[in-house]
Amino acid sequence: MTEKLTVATTSLAGCFGCHMSFLDMDERLLELMTIARFDRSPLTDIKHCSERVDIGLVEGGLCNAENVHTLREFRRHCNILVAVGACAINGGLPALRNHIPLEECLREAYLDGIGVEQPGIPNDPELPLLLDQVHPIHEVVVVDYFLPGCPPSADVFWKFLTDLAAGREPSLPSPMLHYD
């Protein structure tokens, strides 16, 4: 038997909805596990990629310095990098803040907003610094494939991964192509 494909996943500025949708493959996950195994992923709680990973699935866009760091690590270790979902592809809903100055966002959330108690902008050194705007991941690293959708359906993940595993060029039939 040939070596299993290794798959790493991460969620940057996303909502984990794409990961949930991945799990919606349900019993097909068992079949997938016969040809692939997880590497770094919130699903395995492995914190860093192995030296070489076959496929890296990235959910979410870039809203802070840690996102950029994580994305660059993924790109370094993953042979194939995949932007998964609207946020990774175009910033998605987090990018709605992009036309509001960052200072104004922080003021609304932590100082002046309705219901704020003990106002104060968090500035613990452990907290990653926010970027002034949310960016899609292709603006920072080279991305090999894109799976649109909010989230992409389980069928999309299944089609994509089984195409790759079988050595086919992945392609989504038009009923699977959605931006919403």
User: Do 58 and 68 contact (CB within 8 A), yes or no?
Assistant: no
Q: Which stretch binds other proteins (CB under 8 A): 30-38, 73-81, 109-117, 144-152?
A: 144-152
Query: How many CB atoms are located within 10 Å of the residue 138 CB?
Result: 15
Residue 7 touches other proteins, criterion: CB under 8 A: no
The DSSP secondary-structure symbol of 127 reads S
Residue 96 binds to other proteins (criterion: CB under 8 A): yes
Angle at Cα 180 formed by Cα 86 and Cα 11, nearest 5°? 30
Asked if residues 106 and 72 have their Cβ atoms less than 8 Å apart, the reply is no
Residue 139 sits in the site that holds other proteins (CB under 8 A): yes
Q: Which of 3, 27, 117, 180 binds other proteins (CB under 8 A)?
A: 180
Is residue 67 at the binding interface for other proteins, with CB under 8 A as the rule? no
Alpha carbon 136 to chain centroid, angstroms:
10
Contact 112, 177 (CB under 8 A): no
Least distance (Å) from other proteins to the CB of residue 136? 7
Q: Which of residues 107-136 bind other proteins (CB under 8 A)?
A: 133, 135-136
What residues line the site for other proteins (CB under 8 A)?
Answer: 83, 86, 89-93, 95-96, 98-99, 133, 135-136, 138-139, 143, 145-148, 150, 172, 174, 177-180
